């Protein structure tokens, strides 16, 4: 069997009817076998995903998670990014069902990042809806509402290709979810407005497709206190759910409805729902569902038949609780191991980033003055020179060096000479904090101006000269000036075609040389041709 045959088998599995569960599973195992023979990672990953999805739809969350974990290694190495998004989505859904909020949203966020990167609008909408459901499970209805709104917005941004698809039912379903969310936030008016907008579309859909509407409508009637009016819709809802092959998305709704019915003292209706969820949990063969069923049954008994013996129900509930606690313990242990691995990775990355930052500082900054070094200066000038020429703004360079610095070192020693250079660097920061400052080497420094007029460049140069003199740093006795001074050579112009950074540096250097030749403590403006 070649790759084309594996693709056909995947397509066959996807188009197998929902009620042919065993046949679908058989095809999945066949796909795994054939994919192993052909070293097709995508085939194995796809089969594991479908098996996980089947188990999820049956309410077997633990088994579903096991299939996903087995397939995860293959989907990571595979090339099918859509399958990677599907894996992240189902992982998020499963962990939310198992109460692991941290893991749930970690997978959801990975899925969103990939879906946005690959412009997978349909899968992005599924992710938004799944996240909203997860928030509802965790009781955070405000955030759930935000993600339903994101899903709604994404329909307006759908691609031309998606425009051809029929999206009416998806929008109908979304409005039902939004309405239910508003009810949880006690915003009845908004919920009623949604109901008015969607109730005329009911005739377009089957009873099964209307389930979200039935649930939403029942919730609204209960919120308004119209218990008698809700009974007919309650019957429609529970009878339709029981007829379905898969009802994972409505089982929790049935559990919630039991609680509402008990709170409103509707004994017969509550009992009808308890019996129904007992049959559904048996049919699904799910321990998670059985545990929820016994919880509902015991609560019903304590409210309406407190004198009855419920010892067997309690024993079954405790057995299931212990088994589920073991599942959660294992999941928590695995989560802690993952967390430890994550923390180790974070520590390693932080350490590496710290080292990289240190090396970058060493490579781009002068060790003595902490100003940018010659390498960083060249990089900065090259980066901005072309941009200045294209956009027509000026590049200004102020080259400055210390007057009689050799004599200063000979008189006071190199240690004081270093302190003198640090003092000049600090003065530059004080006077020109908004401009690029660098030590070129020795006692030579640079200030680079971008898009500054010549008057501003001269103003900074004169201010630097005055502040340094005001600091009165002692100079050698044989020097004509009583304190340390600097000389500066300037250039400021819009770069022309054919001119280079070296031309500008050379011009500023020559201005410095000419100025110092005339007198020290000078400022000389050069003109580039």
Domain residues for the domain of 411 are 374-525
Residue 240 burial (CB count, 10 A):
18
Convert the pLDDT of each residue in 76-110 to its tens digit. 665 678 889 999 999 999 988 887 888 899 999 99
Two structure tokens written together for 295: 């919880």
Q: Say if 519 falls within a structural domain.
A: yes
Q: DSSP character for 19?
A: T
Judge whether 506 lies within some domain: yes
Specify if 468 maps to a domain. Answer: yes
Confidence of residue 161 (pLDDT cuts 50, 70, 90): very low
Give the separation between CA 13 and CA 515, rounded to whole angstroms: 85
Residue pLDDT, tens place only, 209-250: 889 899 999 989 988 888 888 888 888 888 888 887 767 778
| Position 451 in a domain | yes
Total domain count for the chain? 1
Residue 517 lies in a domain: yes
Cβ contact 382:505 at 8 Å: no
Residue 474 domain-assigned (yes or no): yes
Indicate the SS3 state at residue 487. strand
- In this structure, is residue 459 part of a structural domain? yes
**CATH number of 438's domain:** 3.30.70.270
Q: What CA–CA distance (Å, rounded) separates 384 from 435? A: 13
Q: Is the pLDDT of residue 73 over 90?
A: no
Long-range contacts, stretch 414-423, CB < 8 angstroms, 24+ apart: 418/368, 420/473, 420/484, 421/368, 421/369, 422/368, 422/369, 423/471, 423/473
In this prediction, residue 54 carries a pLDDT of: 86
Q: Please, what is the average pLDDT of the chain?
A: 83
Task: Reply yes or no on whether the pLDDT at 165 is more than 50.
Answer: no
Cα separation, 376 vs 440, whole angstroms: 10
| Length of the chain as a residue count | 529
In sign, the C-alpha dihedral spanning 154, 155, 159, 161 is positive
* DSSP 3-state of 397: strand
Residue with tokens 């990975």: 110
| Of 456, 458, 466, 455, the residue nearest 489 (C-alpha) | 458
Q: Running DSSP on this structure, what letter comes out for residue 202?
A: G
pLDDT in tens, 423-438: 999 999 999 999 999 9
SS in 3 state form for 342-373? HHHHHHHHHHHHHHHHHHHHHHHECCCCCCEC
Is 505 among the domain residues? yes
The listed range with the strongest mean pLDDT (60-64, 302-306, 395-399) is 395-399
Pairing of β 486-493 and β 523-525: parallel
């Amino acid at each position: 069997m070649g790759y084309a045959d594996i693709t056909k088998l995947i397509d066959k599995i996807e188009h197998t009817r929902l009620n042919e569960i065993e046949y679908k599973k058989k095809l999945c195992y066949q796909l795994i076998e054939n994919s192993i023979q052909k070293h097709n990672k995508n085939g194995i990953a796809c089969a594991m995903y479908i098996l996980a999805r089947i188990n999820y739809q049956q309410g077997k969350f633990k088994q579903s998670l096991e299939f996903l974990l087995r397939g995860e290694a293959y989907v990571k190495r595979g090339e099918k990014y859509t399958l990677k998004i599907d894996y992240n989505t189902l992982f998020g859904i499963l962990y939310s069902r198992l109460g692991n909020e941290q893991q749930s949203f970690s997978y959801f966020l990975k899925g969103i990042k990939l879906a946005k990167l690959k412009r997978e609008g349909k899968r992005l909408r599924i992710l938004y809806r799944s996240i909203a459901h997860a928030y509802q499970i965790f009781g955070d209805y405000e955030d759930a509402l935000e993600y339903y709104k994101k899903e709604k917005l994404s329909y307006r941004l759908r691609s031309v290709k998606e425009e051809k698809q029929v999206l009416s039912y998806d929008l109908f379903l979304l409005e039902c979810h939004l309405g239910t969310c508003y009810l949880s936030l006690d915003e009845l008016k908004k919920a009623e407005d949604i109901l008015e907008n969607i109730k005329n579309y009911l005739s377009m859909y089957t009873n099964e497709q209307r389930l979200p509407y039935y649930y939403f409508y029942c919730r609204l009637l209960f919120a308004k206190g119209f218990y008698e009016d809700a009974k007919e819709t309650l019957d429609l809802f529970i009878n339709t759910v029981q007829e379905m092959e898969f009802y994972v998305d409505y089982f929790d709704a049935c559990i919630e409805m039991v609680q509402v019915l008990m709170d409103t003292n509707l004994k017969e209706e509550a009992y009808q729902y308890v019996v129904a969820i007992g049959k559904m949990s048996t049919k699904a063969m799910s321990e998670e569902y059985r545990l929820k069923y016994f919880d509902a049954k015991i609560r019903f008994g304590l409210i309406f038949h407190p004198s009855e013996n419920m010892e067997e129900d309690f024993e079954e509930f405790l057995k299931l609780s212990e088994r589920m606690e073991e599942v959660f313990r294992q999941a928590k242990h695995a989560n802690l191991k993952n967390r430890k691995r994550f923390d180790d990775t974070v520590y390693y990355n932080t350490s590496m980033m710290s080292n990289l930052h240190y090396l970058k500082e060493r490579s781009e900054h002068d060790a003595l003055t902490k100003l940018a070094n010659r390498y960083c200066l060249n990089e900065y000038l090259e980066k901005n020179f072309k941009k200045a020429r294209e956009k027509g703004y000026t590049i200004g360079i102020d080259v400055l060096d210390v007057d009689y610095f050799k004599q200063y070192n000979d008189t006071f020693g190199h240690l004081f000479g270093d302190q003198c250079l640090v003092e000049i660097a600090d003065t530059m920061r004080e006077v020109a904090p908004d401009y690029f400052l660098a030590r070129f080497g020795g006692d030579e420094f640079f200030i680079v101006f971008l898009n500054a007029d010549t008057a501003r460049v001269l103003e900074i140069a004169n201010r630097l000269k005055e502040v340094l003199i005001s600091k009165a740093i002692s100079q050698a006795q044989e020097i004509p000036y009583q304190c340390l001074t600097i000389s500066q050579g300037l250039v400021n112009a819009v770069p022309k075609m054919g001119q280079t950074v070296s031309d500008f540096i050379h011009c500023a250097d020559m201005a410095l040389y000419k100025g110092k030749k005339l007198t020290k403590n000078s400022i000389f403006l050069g003109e580039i041709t």
